[in-house]
Amino acid sequence: MTVGSQLHRFGKLDLADLDWRTRKYNGLAGYESSKLAVVLFSLELQRRLTEAGSAVRSIIAHPGVARTGLVDHSPLGVINRMPFLVQDVERGALPLLYAATQDVAGNAYVGPDGLFSFTGYPLVRKPSRAAQNPATAKALWQATAALTGAPS
């Protein structure tokens, strides 16, 4: 299982500069693009597992918006003061526990069932359209392999 984020929906990938060496780094944009990459990487992993005849499943889960210290020192920290948009960390853990323990399909995207998937109980949802692009997923896999020296 991979931990995702709804912020993947705002991510933009630059396959030629995945490690931000030629662009000016922006923390939020980096986080968004990394979470888009996580979902795409999981998509390609599931394709490869299926092709190999493996019963292993690649699943993505995200906690919604959980009240943690992760955003305390960023402009997004204000969200922790909006109780209708956040949930406690125990509730945020539920989608991850659900994805790890329930019989969900490969490439399932599990998150809270509430408005914008911010809060609520686990539900299998759909990632963004950009995160479901098999050509981009394959290209990301190959770019990652090239950066790490791993076989593609």
Catalytic residue numbers read: 31
Instruction: Dump the DSSP string for the chain.
Output: -EE--GGGGG----TT-TT-SSS---HHHHHHHHHHHHHHHHHHHHHHHHHTT------EE---SB--GGGTTSGGGGGGG-TTT-B-HHHHHHHHHHHHHS---TT-EEEESSGGGSSSSEEEE---SGGG-HHHHHHHHHHHHHHHT---
Report angle CA 3, 112, 15 to the nearest 5 degrees. 35
